[in-house]
Amino acid sequence: GAGVSQSPRYKVAKRGQDVALRCDPISGHVSLFWYQQALGQGPEFLTYFQNEAQLDKSGLPSDRFFAERPEGSVSTLKIQRTQQEDSAVYLCASSWTQETQYFGPGTRLLVL
């Protein structure tokens, strides 16, 4: 079956530009996670949804980061006024339970 998909796969933004990253989870998966992964590091938790409810957003690094999942399926991670330190791979994962996660291919964001 189809896995988790993310778009765009690559994004180059100028500093100060807003970006929106999309995640299409596996159909029927209740939980959805966003992570930020810098080069050579492990995934860093950003936020977690159960259906449409954002249950944990403690990992969002600043108020420039915003995530939503309005209908409990597709999710969007928005970064406003991007800065160079936002350059990273943004990973989305979904799961049926809170445990086994299925990751998408990620969006590589480069802020110039």
Partner 1 sequence: GQQVMQIPQYQHVQEGEDFTTYCNSSTTLSNIQWYKQRPGGHPVFLIQLVKSGEVKKQKRLTFQFGEAKKNSSLHITATQTTDVGTYFCTGNQFYFGTGTSLTVIP
Q: Applying CB under 8 A, does 104 fall inside the site for partner 1?
A: yes
Instruction: Report how far apart, in Å, the C-alpha atoms of 77 and of each of 12, 60, 85, 111 are.
Output: 15, 10, 16, 16
- 102 binds partner 1 per the rule CB under 8 A: yes
Q: Which of 22, 24, 45, 54 binds partner 1 (CB under 8 A)?
A: 45
48 touches partner 1 by CB under 8 A: yes
Residue 86 φ/ψ, nearest 5 degrees? -80, -10
Nearer to partner 1, 1 or 14 (CB): 1
* Residues 50-89 as x/- pattern, contact with partner 1 by CB under 8 A: ------x--x------------------------------
Q: How far apart are CA 98 and CA 100, in angstroms?
A: 7
End-to-end CA distance of the chain: 37
From its phi and psi, is residue 24 left (phi > 0), alpha (psi between -120 and 50) or beta? Answer: beta
**Tokens 């086994």 map to which residue?**
100
Residue 105 interacting with partner 1 (CB under 8 A) = yes
For partner 1, the binding residues (CB under 8 A) are: 33, 35, 41-45, 48, 56, 59, 91, 93, 95, 98-106
